[in-house]
């Protein structure tokens, strides 16, 4: 039995199918990335797993508790940490008062240790916090009772790159201590850096589950290049170039081939600007799974 076992889970809102016949498992002690474009059904899945919404069909077990059994699920929550996307707090309370309150509900044996790493200004009212500070308060709240399973919805939004890297490092350490971590994201690069395994969701369907190595090979990079003279349209024929688009001296494509070949090609041009970055998730889907694959 995994930490989470989802079996034929569906959630409809009237005619809108948010999640459709979803089945997958999250193993104990892994970092599972739940990846999908905005609106794909990630948040709905998470909210259904936590009992905020009832499944239309199918079910899931979270740490052994059936999500349709609200009593069992409530008891199990003593061992779960949850961080919603852009979490909101009681703005009138100070960070310290807020953590005291949640400590009274579920415990806080790791609070001090977490506050060494993530340090929102606890003496101030939460209403005055920046997005990053709120996110840090949320992280402390999520982990302070030493949960077995942590579910996070877009957790790194609002963290600066240094805090984000510290957070990733922290997640790996947590995993090594045996904590199971699930987090959703629409940013491939984020999931790449920390996840052991990834599930893709698109239009409410689970598209694929694959380990991170496969994903790394398939993901590719988005390349934008501006050259003094336009690129030869035949560049599109270079191995690993997909979705080549060109407007005068600007060219854009997804690149999954050998970087050296690309650099050799570009060396023949006067490069004005070059940007190599993460491709939008939607593009990854389009290229590798086709638009109507599901």
Partner 1 sequence: MFEITRYEARSRVKGSLVLTFGVGVFTLLIVGLFPSIAASGVDFEAYVESLPPAFQEGFGVSGAALTTLEGFLSTEVYQFIWLLMLGLYIAYTAGNTVAGDIESGRLDILLAAPVSRTTVLVEKILSLLVPIVLLNLVVPLFVLAGAILIDEPLDFAAIVVVHLLSIPYLLVCAAIGVFLSVALMRADLAQRGSLAAVFLLFLVDTVSAGTDYEWLGTASPTRYFDPTEILVDGTYDVGGAFVLLVAALVLLIVSCKRFQEAEL
Residues lying near partner 1 in the complex (CB under 8 A) are found at 47, 50-54, 70-71, 74-78, 80-82, 84, 86-90, 92-93, 101-102, 104-106, 138, 141
Q: How far is the CB of 183 from partner 1 (least distance, A)?
A: 15
Beta-sheet strands, E only, within the chain: 4-13, 16-26, 31-35, 57-62, 65-66, 80-83, 149-153, 180-185, 197-202, 205-211, 221-227, 241-247, 250-255, 271-277
Question: Contact, 5 vs 66, CB < 8 A?
Answer: no
- Please name the helix (run of DSSP H) or strand (run of DSSP E) that holds residue 266, with its range, or none: helix 259-266
Q: How far is the CB of 41 from partner 1 (least distance, A)?
A: 15
CB atoms within 10 A of CB 52: 13
* Residue closer to partner 1, measured from CB, 78 or 264: 78
- Strand duo 149-153 + 80-83: pairing: parallel
* Residue closer to partner 1, measured from CB, 36 or 84: 84
* Residue closer to partner 1, measured from CB, 106 or 249: 106
DSSP letter string, 43-59:
HHHHHHHTTSS--SEEE
Q: How far is the CB of 106 from partner 1 (least distance, A)?
A: 5
* Residue closer to partner 1, measured from CB, 86 or 214: 86
Angle at 62 between CA 57 and CA 63, to 5 degrees: 155
Q: How far is the CB of 15 from partner 1 (least distance, A)?
A: 16
CB atoms within 10 A of CB 288: 17
* Residue closer to partner 1, measured from CB, 8 or 75: 75
d(CA 199, CA 180): 15
φ, ψ dihedrals at 75, nearest 5°: -65, -40
Q: How far is the CB of 216 from partner 1 (least distance, A)?
A: 32
Q: How far is the CB of 30 from partner 1 (least distance, A)?
A: 21
Q: How far is the CB of 136 from partner 1 (least distance, A)?
A: 14
* Residue closer to partner 1, measured from CB, 144 or 188: 144
* Residue closer to partner 1, measured from CB, 135 or 235: 135
């Amino acid at each position: 039995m995994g930490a989470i076992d989802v079996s034929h889970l569906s959630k409809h809102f009237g005619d809108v199918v948010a999640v459709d016949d979803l089945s997958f498992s999250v193993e104990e002690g892994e970092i599972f990335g739940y990846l999908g474009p905005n609106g794909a059904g990630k948040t709905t899945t998470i909210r259904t797993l936590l009992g905020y919404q009832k499944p239309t069909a199918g079910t899931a077990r979270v740490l052994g508790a059936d999500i349709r059994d609200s009593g069992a699920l409530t008891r199990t929550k003593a061992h779960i940490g949850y961080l919603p996307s852009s979490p909101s707090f009681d703005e009138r309370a100070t960070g310290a008062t807020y953590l005291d309150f949640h400590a009274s509900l579920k415990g806080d044996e790791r609070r001090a240790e977490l506050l060494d790493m993530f340090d929102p200004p606890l003496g101030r009212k939460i209403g005055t916090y920046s997005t990053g500070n709120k996110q840090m308060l949320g992280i402390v709240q999520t982990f302070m009772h030493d949960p077995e399973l942590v579910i996070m919805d877009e957790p790194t939004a609002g963290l600066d790159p240094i805090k984000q890297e510290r957070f990733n490092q922290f997640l790996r350490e947590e995993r090594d201590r045996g904590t199971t971590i699930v987090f959703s994201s629409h940013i491939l690069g984020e999931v790449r850096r920390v996840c052991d395994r990834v599930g893709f969701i698109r239009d409410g369907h689970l598209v694929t589950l694959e380990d991170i190595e496969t994903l790394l090979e398939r993901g590719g990079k988005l390349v934008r290049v501006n050259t003094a003279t336009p690129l030869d349209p035949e560049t599109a024929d270079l191995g690993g170039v997909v979705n080549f688009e060109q407007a005068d001296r600007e060219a854009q494509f997804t690149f999954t081939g050998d970087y050296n070949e690309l650099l050799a090609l570009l060396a023949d041009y006067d490069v004005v600007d070059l940007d190599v970055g993460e491709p939008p998730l939607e593009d990854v889907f389009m290229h590798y799974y086709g638009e109507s694959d599901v």
